[in-house]
Amino acid sequence: MELAIALGITLVMLILGFSIGSRNETAHFRSLAEREEAYSGIMVSDLKRIPSGWQVTGSTLVVGEVVIATDYFKVFASSLRNLFGGRIASYEKLVERARREAICRMLEQAQQAGANVVWNVRIETATITGKQAKKSGGVEVIAYGTAMKATSKSAG
């Protein structure tokens, strides 16, 4: 009897985790696409130095950070994948969402500062460990760079 209850609870948690997680993930990807389009006018580069011939009028550090938690279904699916090896596509989507969200937040700060370029962009990641040892609880991504108002002297 206790085994049946435990299996039932596990099954319900998997179904809820999958359905709610999928809905939230889809909505987040849609929101990211809209925000990325809104920030498309801001140039982003990982170069350390401004090209010669550019004129900079002001700069500031901008940072975007996010922590996105794994859902119950992703943890279960990754546990199964660990048995057989290979890619964990659900975690790849998690990292992609976190990276894109951190960049959007960084660009939002740049836009608020009136910048048109963000230079020397760097991205750092970390895994947040869950309650059980060696179980992922989420992923943290920080994107940062130098936001500037810059123009090319040849742009005229």
Domains of the chain are 2-155 (3.30.110.70)
The one-character DSSP state at 41 is: T
Q: For residue range 87-140, what is the model confidence (pLDDT) as tens digits?
A: 777 788 889 999 999 999 999 999 999 999 999 999 999 988 766 655 667 889
Q: Kind of pairing, strands 117-129 and 43-44?
A: parallel
Could you read off the pLDDT of 1-26 as tens digits, one per residue? Answer: 788 888 888 888 778 877 887 898 89
If one counts every other C-beta atom within 10 angstroms of the C-beta of residue 59, the result is 17
At residue 150, the 3 state secondary structure works out as strand
Global pTM?
A: 0.81
Q: Where are the beta strands (DSSP E) in the chain?
A: 43-44, 54-69, 117-129, 136-152
The string over 104-136, giving b where at least 16 C-beta atoms fall within 10 Å of a residue's C-beta and e elsewhere, is bbbbbbbbebebebbbebebeeeeeeeeeeeeb
pLDDT digit string (tens) for 59-102? 999 999 999 887 666 666 666 666 677 777 778 888 999 999 99
